[in-house]
Amino acid sequence: MFTVRASTILSVIALMVTSGLTQGITNLVCFGDGLVGDCSPFINSFCTAPSIDSIPIFPQSRLAACFEDPAGFRCDFTAFRAQDTTGVLALDSTNCTNALLAAAEECAMGGTARVTGDDFFFTLDPNDGTCGDSTDPASLE
């Protein structure tokens, strides 16, 4: 089960998407409350970080990173492996990029998306404040 911080999100708006950038994207869910911010400049840094596609991720585990925008907000990114398939998997950087671009395009306050058939849900979430000490995209939580 994918969990979202209740303090950040008070409501969720599900979107049905059928064309354009979001083709092949399922489970696109936009956050209905929170900071409006453009996290798209950091998608490539998260999805193509060195070795990110070789980090083994177990079911019900996630990979997370935070990036600070010069405009004064931070962007929290998460790749959550929700499927209970056997063994460990590494995330697919293309699916990561496509899912997060769809969320950035459709969801001004951030959101979660999944590429059809992929084991991972990808989330971007603009928030107030700074990242703190954990900005390494290869850090497992």
Which pLDDT score is estimated for 9? 31
Query: What global pTM score does this model have?
Result: 0.76
Interval 82-102: pLDDT, tens: 866 667 788 889 999 999 999
- Looking at the predicted structure, is the pLDDT value of residue 69 above 90? yes
Hey, which CATH number is domain 12-140, 3.10.620, 3.30.430, 3.40.1350, 3.40.50? 3.30.430
Q: H/E/C letters for each residue in the chain? A: CCCCCCCCCCCEEECCCCCHHHCCEEEEEEECCCCCCCCHHHHHHHHCCCCHHHCCECCCCEEEEEEECCCCEEEEEEEEECCCCCCCECCCHHHHHHHHHHHHHHCCCCEEEEECCCCEEEEEEEEECCCCCCCCCCEEC
Interval 45-61: pLDDT, tens: 999 987 777 788 888 88
